[in-house]
A and B are shown apart, each in its own frame.
Chain A
Amino acid sequence: GEQVEQRPPHLSVPEGDSAVIICTYTDSATAYFYWYKQEPGAGLQLLMSVFSNVDRKEEQGLTVLLNKKDKQLSLNLTAAHPGDSAVYFCAVGFNTGNYKYVFGAGTRLKVIA
């Protein structure tokens, strides 16, 4: 079945440094890719969506890269600050006709002031 692997599970970076999170997905007519942020006890906040015809997307200090050859999706937070501390999830919408979304295991990011 469709799978998404996310790494690292935990990440600590000093304030002002970059943080990179990577997801690897199985090949299955994939079409849509998403990054979410979850703060403690809260729902998920959509950060960025990327369609399979896009290789790179930048918005507000975030860069998403899609490498279809290696089936890899990455999120780069440039100049991280303490407010970025949260759990980050990638999600993939597999275009298999069953409205299925698969989430990565999550990365707990801590930005140290």
Chain B
Amino acid sequence: AQTIHQWPVAEIKAVGSPLSLGCTIKGKSSPNLYWYWQATGGTLQQLFYSITVGQVESVVQLNLSASRPKDDQFILSTEKLLLSHSGFYLCAWSWQYYAEQFFGPGTRLTVL
């Protein structure tokens, strides 16, 4: 069975500080990977997707970047956090183009 793990569970960071969030998928080779952002009480906004190692496409610009250093790992980062980055970050995977997505437990980010 496939499992998806996100780290950390929660972060409290200062404005202007750097950030790195991670996501790992086990039990599935070459998954499509996605990052989403969810404002408190809001809907999901797709940020990035990756279909293979080293290749990441941006869907919306939020002063964030993403990388896929390994087949099973997806990283979301920024060098300088903004207040508007606060929210819930979700990683997801799918087994093929437009197949159903499976979500990780999420990371709660609070920027002060």
Contact = CB atoms under 8 A, between A and B. Distances in A.
Interface of A: 31-32, 34, 36, 41-46, 49, 89, 91, 93, 95, 98-106
Contact of A43 (B32, B45, B46, B103): B103
* Those 7 A-B pairs whose CB atoms lie nearest each other, nearest first: A93-B98, A43-B103, A44-B103, A49-B100, A103-B44, A99-B49, A32-B98
Given A41-B108, A99-B49, A101-B34, A34 B43 contact: no
A73 to B, nearest CB: 14
B97 to A, nearest CB: 7
A89 B98 contact: no
Given A44-B103, A46-B101, A99-B32, A104 B43 contact: yes
B106 interface: yes
Contacts, number: 56
Given A46-B103, A91-B44, A106-B42, 15 more contacts: A31-B98, A32-B99, A34-B101, A43-B90, A43-B106, A46-B101, A49-B100, A98-B59, A99-B32, A99-B57, A99-B97, A100-B59, A101-B34, A101-B46, A102-B46
Interface in B25-67: 32, 34, 42-46, 49, 51, 57, 59
Instruction: Specify the main secondary structure of chain B where it touches its partner.
Output: strand
Interface in B81-106: 90, 92, 97-106
Interface residues of B, number: 24
A101 B99 CA distance: 10
Most interface-central of A31, A43, A93, A95 (chain B CB within 10 A): A43
A42 B97 CA distance: 25
5 contacts: A41-B108, A91-B44, A98-B59, A102-B46, A103-B44
Contacts of A42: 105-106
Contact of B44 (A32, A46, A89): A89
A37 to B, nearest CB: 11
Contacts of B46: 100-102
